[in-house]
Amino acid sequence: MTRDVAEVLLWQWCEDCEQSDIPEMQNAASSVLRHEGRILNFWNNRATNAFAESFNAKIKGFRGMLRGIKDMKFFLFRCQVYFS
């Protein structure tokens, strides 16, 4: 699929959402259109933010293991050890 085809399909989906009677879908379409350029950038260089999302998930899991730790220096030390 090319960027042009993806753009047409994205616009068609947004139009369908905006014509629906579901406010959540209308809101989703508005959000997608607001970020349309960044969404369609995938077709320019085939890059995603999967690495950043995965890293964020690891940090959230790590934070969960350290609940109750109040010493920020210790937290950062543990992050450094865990992620290095």
12-71 pLDDT per residue, tens: 999 999 999 899 999 999 999 999 988 888 888 888 888 888 888 888 887 787 777 788
With 80 as the cut, is the pLDDT of residue 11 above it?
A: yes
This prediction has a pTM of 0.57
With 90 as the cut, is the pLDDT of residue 79 above it?
A: no
pLDDT at 69: 78
Q: Which residues contact 6 (CB under 8 A, 6 or more apart)?
A: 40, 43
Domain ranges for the chain, please list them.
Answer: 3-45, 50-83
H helix or E strand, kind and range, residue 7: helix 3-19
